[in-house]
Chain A
Amino acid sequence: MSTSKIEIDGVGKSYVSGKRRDRKVVNALQGVNLTIAPGGFVSLLGPSGCGKTTLLKCLDGLIPITDGEIRVGGKAIKGPGRDRAFVFQDFRLFPWRSVLGNVCFPLETTVSSRAERETTARKYIEMVGLSAFEKHHPHELSGGMQQRVGIARALAVNPDILLMDEPFGALDAQTRELMQVELLRIWELTGKTVVFVTHSVDEAIFLSQRIAVFSARPGRISAEFDVPFGYPRNEHTVRGDGRFVELRHEIWGLLKGDQNSSFSE
């Protein structure tokens, strides 16, 4: 057993679209290297279109890589696995199912007893603070609540690794802050390895232990930063700390230097 949970080794990914003459190749990722320790919280940070979602989908095995290798727990991955769970930016809840039904969904292939599935699902619904809403349908919930369901669904399969693709990107600032605190609480409680995609510098610093900064076309990691704060973190103490300001400044400088970046905050 190696000491790292995830090893991304010279990974490249190009998308091919169109046929024959109209064939287009997009080099979304090229030569990406990153290792992530078990129980670590790593953010992938970069402007839109730099390949963050692509890398996360490759990590989940949803799309095949065209170059290099991704190892999880020392083994090269071949497709989606039950050791990893994906949290989507647009929640992707099933509108025809209740909160409970949505969280039960991934368990239906592995757990045959309905009662057992519901017990497990309820445990995670409680963890994200939605016990009072388990019979509600997604369209009756706010965006923040819907993403809590998305997180509960991912936790329900008890994965080692949580892959989160801008999970709070669609939420308003206030809800977003609440969800960040909530996520850290759950992370400390469960000890999962988290790979968190964001395009917000502040969010990356507040949440993660390490930040991998992307540059675009072809997407690759241009720098990695260690975040010098312990947990539990407090939004106000972190933001008031001189090291936060310094790190923020440094990352911003890097992103601005990237000509392709289309950043604004």
Chain B
Amino acid sequence: MVRDWLVRIATFCALLLVWQLVAQQMSAAILPTPQRTVNALIALIERGELQTAWGQSAVQVAVAMVLSALLGVGLGVLFGWYRKLDQLFSPLFGSLFLMPRVALIPLIALWFGLQDVAKVMLIMAFSFFEIFFTVRNGVKSVESEYVDVARAYCVPQGRTLRTVVMPAIRPYIITGLRLGLVYALVGVVLAGFFLEANGIGGMIYDLGSNFRTAELMAALFSVMVVGLAVNLGLRQLETRLTPWQVSR
């Protein structure tokens, strides 16, 4: 563990050094030095711009995630459990899943405008499918193993769904939510690019178009940190809630 961290820190320092060396040879508009980037980050925070942007994005992501989670888990369980339903509708969901979701943006803009409703829809287009498919596959895979036990003990279907399937798919639900949230971040950034320019996506877009490169780098850095934190936090939750899942 300690060695892992030493290696990581060493790699980070080496990258920083390379960045510094390369940046010294270039115009600050193309690649600012680490020092300038850090200063820009501090300035963005001091002016409250970064917090405002993330605040707007967080609300959009939160609303979209709640809806995606409800729909994704609900439909995932339904489709996993009722094979007929799955055979009927899965080709549709499958092809929507395979389609590049960015391509939906013009349609979403036409239907829902450019404001928050449209943004929530776009984020959902990214997060819903991850949750839905993970949960549906989870239900299918716990079927033979645990559902057989319920059947052997004459437990009725509804009860089996409630007391066996639901707890058994808990790890799949959490994994689905983690993947969904990671993709929601993609969605919220794109929402700021193509719909009303606010939130972190809007901020990144504006900074880029105005050649404020140091601040742009700082904003990107914040996206990276948020992505890492989301992933790490939900992984922790995963091991906390399902301690029997030793290797995953």
Contacts and interface: CB of A to CB of B under 8 A. Distances in A.
Interface in A48-92: 60, 62, 80-82, 85-86, 88, 92
Nearest to B160: A109
A260 to B, nearest CB: 26
Interface in B124-175: 145-146, 148-149, 151-156, 159, 163-164, 167-168, 170
Interface string A99-113: 000000110110000
A22 B31 CA distance: 60
Contacts of A157: 153
The contact size tier of chain A is 20 to 34
Interface in B217-246: 242-244, 246
Say what secondary structure dominates the interface of chain B. Answer: helix
B156 A109 contact: yes
- Output the residue of B146, B153, B154, B243 with the most chain A CB within 10 A: B153
A93 to B, nearest CB: 9
Interface of B: 145-146, 148-149, 151-156, 159, 163-164, 167-168, 170, 242-244, 246
Contact of B145 (A81, A85, A92, A106): A92
A231 interface: no
B153 A96 contact: no
Contacts of A95: 242, 244
A85 B146 contact: no
Interface in A90-141: 92, 94-97, 105-106, 108-109, 137-139
B159 A109 contact: yes
B149 A92 contact: yes
Interface string A137-171: 11100000000000000000100000000000000
Contacts of A97: 167
Given A108-B163, A139-B244, A139-B246, A94 B152 contact: no
B154 A88 contact: no
B152 A138 contact: no
A158 B244 CA distance: 29
A157 B153 CA distance: 8
Given A80-B152, A139-B244, 6 more contacts: A85-B153, A92-B148, A95-B244, A96-B167, A105-B153, A106-B154
Contacts of B170: 96
A86 B148 CA distance: 10
Given A62-B152, A80-B151, A80-B152, A92 B146 contact: yes
A139 B243 contact: yes
B244 A137 contact: yes
B74 to A, nearest CB: 21
B154 A96 contact: no
Q: Is the interface of A mostly helix, strand, loop or mixed?
A: loop
Interface centre among A95, A138, A157 (most CB of B within 10 A): A95
A147 to B, nearest CB: 14
Given A92-B146, A96-B167, A109-B159, A60 B244 contact: no
A80 B156 CA distance: 11
B172 to A, nearest CB: 13
A82 B244 contact: no
B63 to A, nearest CB: 30
A85 B167 contact: no
Contacts of B155: 105-106, 108-109
A60 B154 contact: no
Given A94-B168, A96-B167, A86 B159 contact: no
Contacts of A62: 148, 151-152
A88 B151 CA distance: 13
A95 B145 CA distance: 12
B152 A82 contact: no
A88 B244 contact: no
A86 B152 contact: yes
17 contacts: A80-B153, A80-B154, A88-B148, A92-B149, A95-B242, A96-B167, A96-B170, A105-B149, A105-B155, A105-B163, A106-B155, A108-B155, A108-B159, A109-B154, A109-B159, A139-B243, A139-B244
